[in-house]
Chains A and B, each alone.
Chain A
Amino acid sequence: MSDTDTKPASETPAEPEIALTKRDLNKSFWRMFFSLQISWNYERMQALGFAWAMQPILKRVYPDKDEYAEGLQRHLTFFNTSPIIGAPLIIGSAAAMEEAHAKSSAEGVKVGLMGPMAGVGDSLTFALYNSIIFTIAANWAIEGKMLGFWFACVMVLVPYFLVRRWQFFFAYRQGKNLASQMAGGALERLSEAATILGLIVLGGFIPSIVKVWTTLTYHQNVSVQGKTVEQKVPVQTQLDQVVPYLMPVVLTALIYYLMKKFNLHPLWAIVIVFALGLILGWQGWFTNVAPVPASGS
Chain B
Amino acid sequence: MFQALILALWATFCIYDTLGPTLIYAGRPLIAGTVAGMIVGDPTLGLAIGGTLELTALGVYTYGGATIPDYPTGAIVGTALAAAASGDLSAKLAIGLTIGIPAAVLLSALDPIGRFLPTFWIHAADRAAGEGDSRRLTLLHWTAFIPWGLVRFIPTFVAVQAGRGAVQNIQDAIPDGFTTGMTLVGGMLPAVGFAMLLRIMPVRRYWYMLTIGFVLFAYLQVPLQGIAIFGVGIAAIFMALRYGPRPGQPGSQEAAHV
Answer yes or no: do A and B interact.
Answer: yes
Q: Which residues of A contact B65 (CB under 8 A)?
A: 40, 42, 45, 80
In chain B, positions 171-222 with a C-beta closer than 8 Å to chain A are 177-178, 180-192, 194-203, 206-207, 209-219, 222
Contact B235 A210 (CB under 8 A): no
Binds B, one of A99-107, A134-142, A174-182: A134-142
CB distance from B62 to the nearest CB of A (A): 9
Q: Which residues of B contact A140 (CB under 8 A)?
A: 51
Contact A39 B122 (CB under 8 A): yes
Q: How far is the CA of A48 from the CA of B69 in the complex (A)?
A: 25
Is A284 among interface residues, defined by CB-CB distance under 8 A?
Answer: yes
Q: How far is the CA of A69 from the CA of B140 in the complex (A)?
A: 16
Residue from the list B28, B118, B231 in contact with A40, Cβ < 8 A: B118
Is A28 among interface residues, defined by CB-CB distance under 8 A?
Answer: no
Is B125 among interface residues, defined by CB-CB distance under 8 A?
Answer: yes
Contact B24 A153 (CB under 8 A): yes
Is B2 among interface residues, defined by CB-CB distance under 8 A?
Answer: no
Is A132 among interface residues, defined by CB-CB distance under 8 A?
Answer: yes
CB distance from B214 to the nearest CB of A (A): 4
Is B43 among interface residues, defined by CB-CB distance under 8 A?
Answer: yes
Q: How far is the CA of A76 from the CA of B188 in the complex (A)?
A: 45
Is A26 among interface residues, defined by CB-CB distance under 8 A?
Answer: no
Q: How far is the CA of A278 from the CA of B218 in the complex (A)?
A: 26
CB distance from B183 to the nearest CB of A (A): 6
Residue from the list A118, A245, A259, A279 in contact with B196, Cβ < 8 A: A259
Contact B202 A195 (CB under 8 A): yes
Q: Which residues of B contact A232 (CB under 8 A)?
A: none
Contact A202 B197 (CB under 8 A): yes
Q: Which residues of B contact A273 (CB under 8 A)?
A: 185, 188-189, 191-192
Residue from the list A80, A127, A210, A280 in contact with B64, Cβ < 8 A: A80
Q: Which residues of A contact B218 (CB under 8 A)?
A: 207, 243-245
CB distance from A259 to the nearest CB of B (A): 5
Binds B, one of A7-15, A165-173, A220-228, A248-256: A248-256
In chain A, positions 235-249 with a C-beta closer than 8 Å to chain B are 243-245, 248-249
Contact B20 A35 (CB under 8 A): yes
Q: Which residues of A contact B217 (CB under 8 A)?
A: 203-205, 207-208, 245
Contact B137 A51 (CB under 8 A): yes
Is A216 among interface residues, defined by CB-CB distance under 8 A?
Answer: no
Given contacts A42-B119, A148-B47, A269-B195, contact A138 B30 (CB under 8 A): yes
Contact A196 B121 (CB under 8 A): no
Q: How far is the CA of A83 from the CA of B63 in the complex (A)?
A: 11
CB distance from A59 to the nearest CB of B (A): 7
**How many residues of B sit at the interface, in one of the four size bands?**
35 or more
CB nearest neighbor in B for A250: B191
Q: Which residues of A contact B119 (CB under 8 A)?
A: 41-43
Contact B22 A84 (CB under 8 A): yes
Q: Which residues of B contact A280 (CB under 8 A)?
A: 181, 184
Is B255 among interface residues, defined by CB-CB distance under 8 A?
Answer: no
Q: How far is the CA of A134 from the CA of B225 in the complex (A)?
A: 12
Binds A, one of B80-88, B127-135, B153-161: B127-135
Is A18 among interface residues, defined by CB-CB distance under 8 A?
Answer: no
How many residues belonging to A are interface residues under a CB distance threshold of 8 Å?
A: 108
Is A262 among interface residues, defined by CB-CB distance under 8 A?
Answer: no
CB nearest neighbor in A for B24: A153
Contact B192 A287 (CB under 8 A): no
Is B167 among interface residues, defined by CB-CB distance under 8 A?
Answer: no
Q: How far is the CA of A76 from the CA of B212 in the complex (A)?
A: 47
Is A146 among interface residues, defined by CB-CB distance under 8 A?
Answer: yes
Contact B125 A48 (CB under 8 A): yes
Residue from the list A39, A203, A270 in contact with B192, Cβ < 8 A: A270
Contact A38 B222 (CB under 8 A): no
Is A4 among interface residues, defined by CB-CB distance under 8 A?
Answer: no
Residue from the list A34, A145, A204, A260 in contact with B21, Cβ < 8 A: A34
Q: Which residues of B contact A205 (CB under 8 A)?
A: 194, 213, 217, 224, 227
CB nearest neighbor in B for A209: B190
Q: How far is the CA of A34 from the CA of B227 in the complex (A)?
A: 34
CB distance from B256 to the nearest CB of A (A): 19
Contact B213 A209 (CB under 8 A): no
Contact B125 A209 (CB under 8 A): no
Q: How far is the CA of A249 from the CA of B190 in the complex (A)?
A: 11
Contact B58 A135 (CB under 8 A): yes
Contact B30 A251 (CB under 8 A): no
Contact B129 A76 (CB under 8 A): yes
Q: Which residues of A contact B89 (CB under 8 A)?
A: 144
Contact A127 B235 (CB under 8 A): no
Q: List, sorted by A's number, 15 A–B pairs whose CB atoms are closer than 8 Å.
A: A38-B148, A39-B141, A40-B118, A42-B116, A66-B132, A127-B200, A138-B50, A141-B50, A144-B47, A160-B22, A202-B197, A203-B210, A278-B184, A282-B178, A284-B180
| 9 pairs of A and B residues whose beta carbons are closest in the complex | A203-B213, A288-B187, A141-B51, A281-B184, A211-B187, A39-B144, A204-B213, A277-B185, A281-B181
